[in-house]
Amino acid sequence: MSLTRSKRGAPAAPPAFWRKAGPAERAGYIEEMTREMANLAAGPGLERLRDLLRLAEAEARRLALGR
């Protein structure tokens, strides 16, 4: 899926995407978003945010595998 960009440059999935997309597509979108957030969280003092992002990535993988 080609993602559109919001005014801030982050990917923005259209609402129709969420209605039509299967679990694997939604998981892929979540993974892309968490990668971008991880890049933003690369600064010092943001370890908790990085932990939460790792949890979100794991959940996206779980959804993609259908577990």
Would you say residue 26 has pLDDT above 50? yes
Residue 55 within a domain: yes
Put simply, whether the predicted model's pTM sits higher than 0.85 gets the answer no
Question: What is the number of domains present in the chain?
Answer: 1
- Is the Cβ–Cβ distance between 60 and 27 less than 8 Å? yes
pLDDT score of 10? 55
pLDDT at 22 over 60: yes
pLDDT at 28 over 80: yes
Q: Say if CB 25 and CB 60 are below 8 A apart.
A: no
Q: Give the range of the structural domain holding residue 59, as residue numbers without chain letter.
A: 21-65
Q: Is residue 29 a contact partner of residue 11, using CB atoms and an 8 Å limit? A: yes
Residue 8 covered by a domain: no
User: 5 in a domain, yes or no?
Assistant: no
- Does residue 3 lie in a domain region? no
